[in-house]
Amino acid sequence: MEEIQPKTGKYALNFGLLLGGAYVLFSVMLLSMDMHYEQSLAIQGVNIALAVAAIALGIVQFKKANEGYLKISEALKLGAGIALVAGIIGLIYFFLLSNVIEPDYMDKVYEIGKQKAMADNPKLTEEQMDKGIAMQKDFAWITYPIMLLMQIIIGLVIGLITGLIAKKQKPDY
């Protein structure tokens, strides 16, 4: 009787949706607390912890469904796939946040960055800061693919580490 192999795509989609939903819920929580402009280490740590938990759980569940066997290549596929699905959901939420929910979101982000840059480098003039912000606005579209690429790289790293820990080859006989 032929055994049915589990598909990495199914697990990547399911756990990617789970992780994407967790990202959106966390972001909505930050929005409701008016903390969505902060980029503190704690907030970044929570996002990484969510990614580690979802990707590791997805890989472990795949391994269970695959009779306890796991290849590193499968773990990498799962890590990247989960991160890709979650990243797309996160980008959709970010697009809605910055264009629908709070249309002046990016202007506030630029203003916060301007204030921080002025505090860090008092030699900069107001005109120099405005030119820098204008340049950032011209290239704001590049934010989306960079965010997605970073998400996938993080997923690959988490998948690699989890795969190295959980790998188990099928015997040749």
User: What is the predicted pLDDT for the residue at 1?
Assistant: 44
How much of the chain exceeds pLDDT 90, in percent? 61
pTM for the structure as a whole: 0.87
> Distance (Å, rounded) from C-alpha 137 to C-alpha 127?
15
pLDDT tens per residue across span 76-125: 999 999 999 999 999 999 999 988 998 888 878 878 777 777 777 777 77
> Distance (Å, rounded) from C-alpha 114 to C-alpha 126?
9
Instruction: Residue 91: name the closest of 39, 16, 24, 41 by CA.
Output: 24
| pLDDT of 2 strictly over 60 | no
